[in-house]
Structure 1
Amino acid sequence: MQLRFAIQSSLFILLVIFSTVSWSADRWVIQFKESPGRSQTSVNPSSLESRKADLRARLAELSIIHKRTFQLVRPFGEHGAVITTPNGSGAEQARLRLLSDPMIESVEPDRRIKLRAQSPLIGLLNALDLSRRSRSWFHQDLSTQPASINTGAMWTNFHGTAPTVVAVLDTGVLPSHPMLQGHLLSGYDFVADSFIGADGQGSAGSDRDSDPTDPGDGVGPADLLSDPVCGGVSQSSWHGTFVSALLAGNPVPSEGVFSVNWNAVVLPVRVLGKCGGFSSDLADGIRWAAGLSVPGAPNNPFPARVINLSLGAEGACVASIEGAAIAAARQAGSLVVVAAGNDGSTVDSPANCPGAFGVAAIDQEGLKANYSNFGSTIQLSAPGGDAAFPIWSASNTGFSGPLTNTYNTKIGTSFSAPMVAGAASLYWSLDPSASVATVENLLKTSARPFLSQGGSPTCTADTVGVECNCTRALCGAGMLDVASLINSQAAAGLTNLFSNTGNVIPPGQTRTFSASGTLNSSGQEVNAVSFDVINVLKSSADAPNPILSVSGLEVDVTAPSGVTGFDLRAQAANGRTAIASVIVANQGATSPTLLASLLSPLINGAATGVGAPSSAVGDAVVGDSGSGSAAGSSSGGGGGGALNLLGLLACLFLLHCFKKKNTV
């Protein structure tokens, strides 16, 4: 016993020593007041080095005046810098003294941000449903799942008019995952700290690079010695892949897993890694995703219409860091959708920042989930899952680094946010000229009223950490309803275009695309549409064009060898045009650069139409056949249906044991 105690004591002392050595400085974001003689707007390499020299000179001057060492980490924004200073009892007093300096506009701690998800689990009801249809419960008909986002109803008539760029600021992505094939742009990795980045890339003292691939954020015992912020040993979350595939990706009917927008394009921006990330990296990522310049980073050629943040930090919004970035992104035309947080209490930052579109989580019954944060800054609520009905999406089996791509479950406001982001991207595909304010307003006015469950309390400021009946004052305008949102643009018609096998065709093979359910501007379902291909990309100049075999509302598309990509177009008489960007490649070999080449001609070319809906979007869901009608097969295409008999009987017996249980 004495030996064990001695070993444990020694390990504890080593942990304290190593933590102190490896994390021996406070990290701040300092904003200087504008100086007429010091322009800092250019970010080309030569001016960046000049700016670094200027900032070092300023910090040296401040070090002398305030008798404290300030070291430059990197430039930040147009007039700021990320700096470090020795920590200790006098650090906060030194920060407050800096605020009185005539050169200084603001000085704020560079806070750590973290994921807004809870641990993977297997939902009891989902696990017992061998058909896997219940995995997509949040897409199902309202008659089956009253708290769903009603995507299945929309899919009957619409899957997106043209690809919309959505930025996912997260842990990065796994480009090889089947759900994301053909849906990823190149993106960028803004994680500057080498420990957090954990990918061995980058240069010049920064881990930032042009590869947003997720290397894994698993935490081992040695990591606990390096960073006291790490809460404990944990496996890699693959959180960015999970969020991205939930928002936009290829359907996987055999797994019962579907994205909100099958035609959207994800711009992966890595801002999180091992044990989280820094708010300064997040702010840079927000600006870059919106198409704004960031010192040291290349320009983003594909500014995102929607930016998804399934992350946060406890406390108020820091106006000079994440608050300023969100305001700038909004001004640039990007909607910033943010998860509320999972503490079951007040809303985290940046969901509480002015201009952010904060999203709370509801469970399968429509109650505010017990883990979900809530408050007056929440704009809307969407499913986040619970122990019985979690959220399913793309994942990986790797504990540390990536191994086998798979599908898994999580719960949290992290997954409510991308549902809203996906809905916004669908709307923008119909009306690309719409302003951020217009889309925000339509998301809220198209929302369904909250459900009320007898026996559950009404949400108040005191109902912390419990399920409760939502109110508009604390949970936003209502529950996300994607079909209702799309109906607001149905007057100009809705042209459907989708494939139940996704938008990637192996060379020489054939895929079927469908336009079933297409409505013309009179609200009538059409019997035929015209199909053609545009923007054909070839690796060989003499390669033939893709071959189309049209039958009414369906087209078999064959991709000859030598064709690398094209845009498939469906046009309805007296209606809209829909476009799907198709990549020709074998599984795991799709190219973000190729997708960018297809997307460029479409950025300003999506069809538009404004007016009140002339007909309601139907209630059926897309089945495996791609017919657009309700499916009765057991493979669970796109929602609809109920649990099988085995699952239902088991659930009735065990539901009271698991339904309300929190997982953390």
Structure 2
Amino acid sequence: MATAPAQAATPVGWEGQALDLSAAQQQSQGDGVTVALLDSGVVPDHPALKGKVTTGPDYRQDGLHLGDPDWGQHGTAMASDVLKVAPKAKILSVRVTSDKDNEKNLPKELEDLRKQSDSPIAEGIRYAVDHGANVISMSIGSGDLFSSFSGSEAEAVAYAIRKGVTLLASAGNSGDTLNENSYPAGYAGVIAVAATKPGGGRADFSTVHTYNDVAAPGVGIISAKTTGGYEPINGTSPACALAAGVVALMKSKNPSLSPAQTNDVLIATAHHPAGGESALLGYGPINADAAVKAATSPPKDMTGPVAYKGRAHFAAPDGTSKTTHPPLEQGMWTTGLLAGGGGLVVLVGGVLLARSGRRIR
């Protein structure tokens, strides 16, 4: 019986040393972890991906299919970046966008998708959670279909976190020009990943924002092409995919690691920038080796629900009930009444004067 061809590893560039990847992979390879990739689709028979990809639904539903030029370019590259870090992890591909959606001046019908009760990304998150994903990687954000807030997406993020699934998203590629919110990176509970350049500084295109948590290499990252082979790409997209691979290593080492613990470990073990956390790189570039080591003994997760043991209703700090109103202060009431009365007199006088003027004319 013929044996399946061995998987060809995606070439590792400067990002390997920046992440301390070799040491991290000596501890974990991502065994038993499924990373859901919410993207433009993944070509499963690329040599770097063969036997590693399960294809889920297409929530973008734009009529494109595997083999079309605008299908799977971005997603295939991201899948190879995840597996570059966690070679024994599995990829669950859920299509929520098209390669065309990164273009400017999107048609209005595309923008309207996110105003529906369930946007493609919200449906993708829920599907991934319900089909065994341990990590969700979303290299989508500013400049494309998913750049504004969506209530259904926020609810889906909360659903994933309650189920113990860690979510990561690219911070965006708008640099420091507008400082606009980029979603899904801006949702509470999502780990927002900025991009670094060789040397550890912020890549010029990486969005500057206060919700940035950590950073990962994002310049000249060798990634898979849909037509076979590889090419270098830039963006917070590969930074997010590499970070998701690191989380896969962590989750493989400690399957009970919660989303909050994952975030805390990444932050605690990052290469902290001078001056501490900032909007440029969050808490700093990821140290994969240190993060995997720390995953075995994470800090206690304090994010669980806590029963309220106070009074039957919430009250303001001074004890005033939220369901009743304090008596109106007499002085303020009198002042307001006098002011209102004076204004009424002036108004009436003006009307009478105007009428009188008309009679004279």
Q: Same fold (TM over 0.5)?
A: yes
Offset of residue 317 of structure 1: 4.8
Task: Please list the CA deviations of residues 48-82 of structure 1 after superposition, one character each: whole Å capped at 9, or x if unmatched.
Answer: xxxxxxxxxxxxxxxxxxxxxxxxxxxxxxxxxxx
Offset of residue 323 of structure 1: 1.7
User: Which structure: greater helix fraction?
Assistant: 2
**Secondary structure in structure 2 of the residue aligned to 1:172:** coil
Aligned 1:208-223 pairs, distance under 5 A: 213=66, 215-217=68-70
| Cross-structure match for 1:323 | 154
Match of 2:80, as an amino acid?
A
The structure 2 residue matched to 1:171, chosen from 25, 40, 43, is: 40
| Cross-structure match for 1:149 | 19
- Given that 1:317 and 1:353 are in contact with CA atoms closer than 8 Å, whether structure 2 keeps it comes out as no
Aligned 1:185-196 pairs, distance under 5 A: 185-194=54-63
Aligned 1:127-276 pairs, distance under 5 A: 136-140=13-17, 148-155=18-25, 157-160=26-29, 162-194=31-63, 198-199=64-65, 213=66, 215-217=68-70, 238-248=73-83, 259-273=84-98, 275-276=100-101
Q: Distance in 2 between matches of 1:169 and 1:348?
A: 16
Offset of residue 313 of structure 1: 3.9
Aligned 1:502-521 pairs, distance under 5 A: none
The structure 1 residue matched to 2:120, chosen from 281, 297, 313, is: 281
**Secondary structure in structure 1 of the residue aligned to 2:38:** strand
Structure 1: gaps of 5 or more residues: 1-132, 141-147, 200-212, 218-235, 249-258, 292-299, 397-403, 453-457, 459-469, 490-608, 613-664
The percentage of aligned residue pairs carrying the same residue is: 30
**Secondary structure in structure 2 of the residue aligned to 1:416:** helix
Match of 1:162, as an amino acid?
D
Offset of residue 305 of structure 1: 1.1
Task: Please list the CA deviations of residues 128-147 of structure 1 after superposition, one character each: whole Å capped at 9, or x if unmatched.
Answer: xxxxx99511102xxxxxxx
| Cross-structure match for 1:366 | 200
**Secondary structure in structure 2 of the residue aligned to 1:433:** coil
Task: Please list the CA deviations of residues 176-226 of structure 1 after superposition, one character each: whole Å capped at 9, or x if unmatched.
Answer: 1010012112322212233xxx22xxxxxxxxxxxxx46331xxxxxxxxx
Match of 2:98, as an amino acid?
G
Task: Please list the CA deviations of residues 269-305 of structure 1 after superposition, one character each: whole Å capped at 9, or x if unmatched.
Answer: 01112522644111111111111xxxxxxxx3xx211
Q: TM-score, normalised by structure 2?
A: 0.69
**Secondary structure in structure 2 of the residue aligned to 1:425:** helix
Q: Distance in 1 between matches of 2:195 and 2:233?
A: 13
Larger radius of gyration: 2
Aligned 1:421-570 pairs, distance under 5 A: 421-450=244-273, 471-489=277-295
Aligned 1:563-582 pairs, distance under 5 A: none
The structure 2 residue matched to 1:335, chosen from 166, 173, 178, is: 166
Q: Distance in 1 between matches of 2:54 and 2:47?
A: 15
- Paired residue total: 271
What RMSD in Å do the two structures reach over aligned CA positions?
Answer: 2.5
Aligned 1:108-127 pairs, distance under 5 A: none
- Given that 2:142 and 2:173 are in contact with CA atoms closer than 8 Å, whether structure 1 keeps it comes out as no
Match of 1:245, as an amino acid?
S
1:391 aligns with 2:194: no
Match of 2:27, as an amino acid?
F
Task: Please list the CA deviations of residues 423-468 of structure 1 after superposition, one character each: whole Å capped at 9, or x if unmatched.
Answer: 1111111111121111111111111123x7xxxxx9xxxxxxxxxx
Task: Please list the CA deviations of residues 342-373 of structure 1 after superposition, one character each: whole Å capped at 9, or x if unmatched.
Answer: 11132411111112111111111211111110
Q: Distance in 2 between matches of 1:472 and 1:310?
A: 21
Distance change in 2, residues 1:410/1:153 (3 Å):
same
Match of 1:412, as an amino acid?
G
| Cross-structure match for 2:348 | none
1:415 aligns with 2:245: no
User: Which structure: greater strand fraction?
Assistant: 1
**Secondary structure in structure 1 of the residue aligned to 2:19:** coil
Distance change in 2, residues 1:610/1:214 (3 Å):
farther
**Secondary structure in structure 1 of the residue aligned to 2:85:** coil
Offset of residue 485 of structure 1: 0.8
| Cross-structure match for 1:27 | none
Task: Please list the CA deviations of residues 371-430 of structure 1 after superposition, one character each: whole Å capped at 9, or x if unmatched.
Answer: 110211111011111xxxx1101113xxxxxxx411111100001101111111111111
**Secondary structure in structure 2 of the residue aligned to 1:186:** strand
Match of 2:191, as an amino acid?
F
Match of 1:243, as an amino acid?
M
Q: Distance in 2 between matches of 1:447 and 1:214?
A: 40
Q: Distance in 1 between matches of 2:121 and 2:67?
A: 16
Distance change in 2, residues 1:611/1:134 (3 Å):
closer
Distance change in 2, residues 1:486/1:170 (3 Å):
same
Aligned 1:15-34 pairs, distance under 5 A: none
